[in-house]
Amino acid sequence: MSEWLISLEGTAAGHQLALALALLAALLHAVFGALQKGRHDPWLSRAAIDTSYALMAAPFALFVVPWPEPHMWPIFAGAFVIHAGYKLAQAMTYQRGAYTVVYPVVRGTGPLFAVLGAGLIFGEHFNAGQWAGLAVLLSGIFGLAIYNLRTITLARETLVSALGFAVLTGAFVALYTTYDAYGIRATADPFTFLAWFFFIDGWFMPVLTVRRWRGLAVAEFLPLARRGVIGAVVAFFSFGSIMLATRLDRVGEAAVLRETSTVFAALIGWLILGEKTGPRRVALMALIAAGAVIVEMAG
């Protein structure tokens, strides 16, 4: 399968597959965010997910995919540090703010920085039409955040700090998107990067949250473990999809298309988390989708 994927790099078929993978990542990333933000402590939810995907990835990393080349170990070390910062900022964000307020800010900050980073590192540059599409998408994302900020009464006393951490999380999203795109392109087999990334990355949050686990009631352990397994499967396909998309096609376009996850997040917040919606929010979600379409068509 690796050879087939590599053969599609830079081709029209690869572009179409990258588009599908970026949209799949958008849907699954919104699901992943809802899993972490749910009724459980977001620190423990993330730790349960990370533990599950590290254990699941271990046999693939050790016995299935080719071992990383020597130059990959410093790259994995850099990815570990960046993702650790991202997870800390994300947990701080979800601990303080309503999901439909902070999630759009995180996702709105990320693509702008990612597009700029892709230009500096990979020499990718948006044309005028794509910048217009990005502006439309960002106006919808930040408009949705502002609307939710004005209408939602949940956890308003911590919203200012939540929004600050949301912007920081968005910056980390852009950083890891660009850095990991570099990482997955630096190895001959993309699945080597993915398997070893999950195996290495999964141990930070469990170690960090040891004390929180000690104070956990037995009745809460099984629901968290179940959430961890589900979240791990979602993470494999979400992160794996966007990383493969960045290997097959342009990093900036994949990063922008993934931010349609805000639309899926709003739907999840409404259908599953019981957060209210309305015509204004629907219109803002339509702007996000329209911006993504413009970026794709203009490219």
- Residue 225 lies inside a defined structural domain of this protein: yes
- Residue 261 lies inside a defined structural domain of this protein: no
Does 152 have pLDDT greater than 70? no
> What does the pLDDT look like over 217-245, one tens digit per residue?
777 788 888 888 998 999 899 888 988 98
Please, how many CA atoms are within 13 Å of residue 231, restricted to the half-sphere of its CB? Answer: 26
- Residue 275 lies inside a defined structural domain of this protein: no
> What does the pLDDT look like over 258-281, one tens digit per residue?
777 777 777 777 777 666 666 777
What is the structure's pLDDT at 203?
A: 93
What is the structure's pLDDT at 273?
A: 65
- Residue 298 lies inside a defined structural domain of this protein: no
Burial of 198 from C-beta contacts in 10 A (0-12 / 13-18 / 19+): buried
- Residue 36 sits at the vertex; the CA angle it makes with 72 and 272, to the nearest 5 degrees, is 135
Total domain count for the chain?
1
Closest alpha carbon to 23 in 261, 268, 266, 263:
261
- Residue 32 lies inside a defined structural domain of this protein: yes
- Residue 195 sits at the vertex; the CA angle it makes with 56 and 213, to the nearest 5 degrees, is 45
**pTM above the 0.75 mark?**
yes
> What does the pLDDT look like over 36-74, one tens digit per residue?
665 667 788 888 999 999 999 999 999 999 999 999 999
Instruction: Determine the length of the chain.
Output: 299
Burial of 10 from C-beta contacts in 10 A (0-12 / 13-18 / 19+): exposed
* Alpha helices by DSSP H, the chain: 2-7, 12-37, 42-59, 72-96, 99-122, 128-151, 159-186, 190-201, 204-208, 210-214, 218-248, 251-258, 261-271, 279-298
| Chain-centroid distance, C-alpha 226 | 21
**C-beta atoms surrounding 279 within 10 Å:** 7
- Residue 135 lies inside a defined structural domain of this protein: no
Burial of 124 from C-beta contacts in 10 A (0-12 / 13-18 / 19+): middle
What is the structure's pLDDT at 36?
A: 62
**Residue 32: both structure tokens together:** 């992943």
How far apart are the C-alpha atoms of 257 and 25, rounded to whole Å?
A: 9
> What does the pLDDT look like over 108-142, one tens digit per residue?
777 777 777 777 777 877 788 888 888 887 888 77
- Residue 128 sits at the vertex; the CA angle it makes with 18 and 119, to the nearest 5 degrees, is 55
> What does the pLDDT look like over 167-205, one tens digit per residue?
899 889 888 888 998 999 999 999 999 999 999 999 999
Residue 10 region, left (φ>0) first, then alpha (ψ -120 to 50), else beta? left
Range of the domain at 212: 2-124+157-256
- Residue 113 lies inside a defined structural domain of this protein: yes
Closest alpha carbon to 190 in 134, 274, 246, 140:
246
Contacts of 85 (CB under 8 A, 6+ apart): 172
- Residue 110 lies inside a defined structural domain of this protein: yes
> What does the pLDDT look like over 13-44, one tens digit per residue?
888 888 888 888 888 877 877 776 656 677 88
